Amino acid sequence: MNIKTADFVCSNTQVSRLPLPLKPEFAFIGRSNVGKSSLINMLTQKKGLAKTSQTPGKTQLINHFLVNEQWYIVDLPGYGYARISKNKKEDWNKFIRNYLDKRESLQCVMVLIDSRLEPQKIDLEFCNWLGEKGLPFVLVFTKADKQSSIKTDQNVAKFRRAIMSTFEEAPQHFVTSSETLYGRDEVLEFIDGINRN
Ligand code: GTP
Ligand code: MG
């Protein structure tokens, strides 16, 4: 897919204020600092479109970006950030889960997983919740440039094995690097395939 335009539309804390659900949308979610905002900038090839930071907890709102005037990328706050209060965590749970569960134009949840890490309980639990809700999702392993491809493959295989304990079929997955553009074509092709249907 050729990306001609990618523009910021709005940031929200309330599901009731989101853009009308008239265009297909793809939500990017995962642990704080996993690289959601960086991946969005990499996919759109627009540096600074989504705000990134070395400090976890940068993205705090539901951010809509319109691509090619046809579909939305949604950047979400990360989960599992240890240094936020219990109240804030509960807020996160409520408003993000409410968004994911209720958004009728949501086509697929892109669950980002740090390819450097062994399977993390919080990621597996989040995938299980998506499964319980019947929400379609794929796994996007990030930061593949940070270690050897052998190590990445091992971690991907471990995560797939772990997720198979609750899912009959492992979800589709992509390996990416926002530094090298690795995996960009595959992710965009996947999105294009859904948009064409
Ligand atoms: P929150 O909004 O805080 O939840 O974080 P996020 O998931 O949006 O992460 P963000 O894109 O802000 O990236 C976090 C840090 O990881 C930044 O310092 C990025 O430069 C770095 N980073 C993200 N993706 C990659 C990648 O593919 N390779 C490398 N080397 N660094 C990356
Ligand atoms: Mg972010």
Q: Is 137 inside any structural domain?
A: yes
Q: Is 37 inside any structural domain?
A: yes
Distance 197 CA to ligand 1 centre (A): 31
Q: Is 57 inside any structural domain?
A: yes
Q: Is 65 inside any structural domain?
A: yes
pLDDT at position 57: 77
Pocket of ligand 1 (CB under 6 A): 32-38, 52-54, 56-59, 77-78, 142-143, 145-146, 177-179
Q: What 3 state SS string does the chain have?
A: CCCCCEEEEEEECCHHHCCCCCCCEEEEEEECCCCHHHHHHHHHCCCCCCCCCCCCCCCCCEEEEEECCCEEEEECCCECCCCCCHHHHHHHHHHHHHHHHHCCCEEEEEEEEECCCCCCHHHHHHHHHHHHHCCCEEEEEECHHHCCHHHHHHHHHHHHHHHCCCCCCCCCEEECCCCCCCCHHHHHHHHHHHHHC
Domain with 49 in it = 6-196
Q: Is 36 inside any structural domain?
A: yes
Q: Whose CA is nearest to atom 2 of ligand 1?
A: 59
Q: Is 94 inside any structural domain?
A: yes
Residue 191: give its domain's CATH number.
3.40.50.300
Total domains in the fold of the chain: 1
For residue 23, what pLDDT band results from cuts at 50, 70 and 90? Answer: very high
pLDDT in tens, 139-179: 999 999 999 999 999 999 999 999 999 898 889 999 999 99
**pTM of structure:** 0.96
Q: Is 1 inside any structural domain?
A: no
Distance 53 CA to ligand 1 centre (A): 7
Q: Is 154 inside any structural domain?
A: yes
